[in-house]
């Protein structure tokens, strides 16, 4: 039996399959293992099932001489040094498709909540201040017929575009390689939604220059990775009214420290990285991660290998 370390307890029954097949240790705490604990448990492991909160860098990979496969419980894998793993012949898997529709749903939920000021209105109603119907109370922005700019047209971006069609929205799309198209999208869009992986090229992509191009009525939605948005520039854009609002499922760091200035920005909605948080999506993610582990330990190709390791 191989030794497998899983860095958090996961939803669904699939972990039972892993426990039956291999000597599996699951980190028991609700918070992720610290660096020392992660190194300690990785050192004798043949396989790791990791979360985006776990930094699997070259140092850790070098300290795990038996390691054959890493399964990341996410679509993104910027927490893993894939080059270092590839150099060792270690397969790296992710969980594509399983969370596409759930994340697209949340994207649209954030868009709607920010546009129609749902959280503010709900808090007002609960506070006891609500006295009557007000003709000018909690006025928001139209969604139907508005223009949605989608930055990154992978699975999730395409799923968001399908939802936008139901609202009669004009959809503009771009990839980061086309700077002219990106600038056009930022200028035209009433809502800008980010669906990119975090890379050296996308880090802080949406910063001071991008906000300067956006409409003062525009709302930014990010369900991708927090570091794609320059949080200091975002706080400035919100404080000065350069854009109308932002709705974030992801931040950098996660969580934001309680004293981070971004918390003081107006018209900001933040939720705690719940894009894939449905029972079916998370259980399917567990199944896919386990499938990747079992395949790697049996010397088979990973059924869901990260794109940067796919050569054909």
Which residue in 41, 117, 195, 225 is the catalytic one? 225
Sign of torsion, CA 272 278 279 282? Answer: negative
Q: Is 273 part of the annotated catalytic residue set?
A: yes
The pLDDT score that the predictor gives to residue 195 is: 97
Please, which pLDDT band fits residue 111 given cuts at 50, 70 and 90? very high
Mean pLDDT confidence for 76-89:
97
Which residue in 231, 273, 282, 304 is the catalytic one? 273
Which residue in 183, 232, 254, 283 is the catalytic one? 254
Cα 103 to Cα 35, 73, 156, 194: the distances in Å are 29, 14, 7, 12
Q: Where are the beta strands (DSSP E) in 18-111?
A: 23-26, 47-50, 69-72, 91-93
- Residue 10 burial class via C-beta count within 10 angstroms: exposed 0-12, middle 13-18, buried 19 and up: buried
Please, which pLDDT band fits residue 308 given cuts at 50, 70 and 90? confident
pLDDT digits (tens, 9 = 90+) for 181-229: 999 999 999 999 999 999 999 999 999 999 999 999 999 999 999 999 9
pLDDT digits (tens, 9 = 90+) for 28-55: 999 999 999 999 999 999 999 999 999 9
Q: Are 215 and 242 in contact (CB under 8 A)?
A: no
- Collapse the DSSP code of 17 into the 3-class scheme (helix H, G, I; strand E, B; otherwise coil) and give the result: helix
Please, which pLDDT band fits residue 74 given cuts at 50, 70 and 90? very high
From the CB of residue 127, how many other CB atoms can be counted at a distance below 10 Å?
8
Q: What is the pTM of this model?
A: 0.93
Q: Which secondary structure element, helix H or strand E, spans residue 83, and what is its range? A: helix 82-87
Residues whose CB is less than 8 angstroms from the CB of residue 99 and which lie 6 or more positions away in sequence, other chains included: 75, 156, 275, 276, 281, 284, 285
pLDDT digits (tens, 9 = 90+) for 123-175: 999 999 999 999 999 999 999 999 999 999 999 999 999 999 999 999 999 98
Residue of 310, 151, 143 whose CA lies nearest to 225: 151
Please, which pLDDT band fits residue 179 given cuts at 50, 70 and 90? confident
The pLDDT score that the predictor gives to residue 126 is: 96
Residues whose CB is less than 8 angstroms from the CB of residue 148 and which lie 6 or more positions away in sequence, other chains included: 111, 160, 161, 164, 169, 170, 171, 172, 189, 190, 191, 192, 193
In the chain, what are the domains?
Answer: 3-98+279-309 (3.40.50.720), 100-270 (3.40.50.720)
Q: Is 22 part of the annotated catalytic residue set?
A: no
List the 47-50 sheet strands across, edge first.
Answer: 23-26, 3-6, 47-50, 69-72, 91-93
Q: Is 225 part of the annotated catalytic residue set?
A: yes
Burial letters 251-288, b for 16+ CB under 10 A, else e: bbeeebeeeeebeebebbbbbebebbbbeebbbbbbbb
**Could you tell me which residue, 140 or 178, shows the higher pLDDT?**
140
């Amino acid at each position: 039996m191989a030794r497998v370390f899983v860095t958090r307890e996961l939803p669904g029954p699939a972990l039972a399959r892993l426990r039956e097949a291999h000597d599996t240790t699951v980190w028991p705490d609700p918070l992720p293992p610290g660096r020392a604990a992660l190194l300690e448990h990785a050192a004798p492991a043949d396989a790791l099932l990791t979360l985006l909160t776990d930094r699997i860098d070259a140092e850790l990979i070098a300290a795990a001489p038996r390691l054959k496969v890493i399964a990341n419980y996410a679509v993104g894998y910027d927490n893993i040094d894939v080059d270092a793993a590839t150099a060792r012949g270690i397969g790296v898997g992710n969980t594509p498709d399983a969370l596409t529709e759930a994340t697209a749903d949340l994207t649209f939920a954030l868009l709607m909540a920010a546009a129609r000021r749902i959280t503010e209105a709900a808090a007002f109603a609960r506070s006891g201040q609500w006295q009557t119907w007000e003709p000018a109370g909690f006025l928001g922005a139209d969604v139907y017929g508005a223009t949605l700019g989608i930055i990154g047209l992978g699975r999730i971006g395409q799923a968001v575009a399908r939802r936008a069609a139901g609202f009669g929205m004009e959809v503009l799309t771009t990839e980061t390689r086309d700077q002219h198209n990106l600038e056009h999208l930022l200028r035209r869009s009433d809502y800008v939604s980010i669906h990119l992986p975090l890379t050296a090229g996308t880090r802080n992509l949406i910063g001071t220059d991008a906000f300067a191009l956006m409409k003062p009525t525009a709302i930014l939605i990010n369900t991708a990775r927090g570091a794609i948005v320059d949080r200091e520039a975002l706080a400035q854009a919100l404080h000065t009214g350069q854009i109308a609002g932002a709705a974030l499922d992801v931040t950098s760091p996660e969580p934001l420290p309680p004293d981070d200035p971004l918390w003081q920005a107006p018209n900001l909605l933040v939720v705690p990285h719940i894009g894939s948080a449905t029972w079916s999506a998370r259980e399917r993610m567990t199944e896919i991660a386990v499938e990747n582990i079992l395949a790697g330990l049996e010397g088979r190709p990973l059924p869901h290998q990260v794109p940067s390791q796919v050569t054909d």
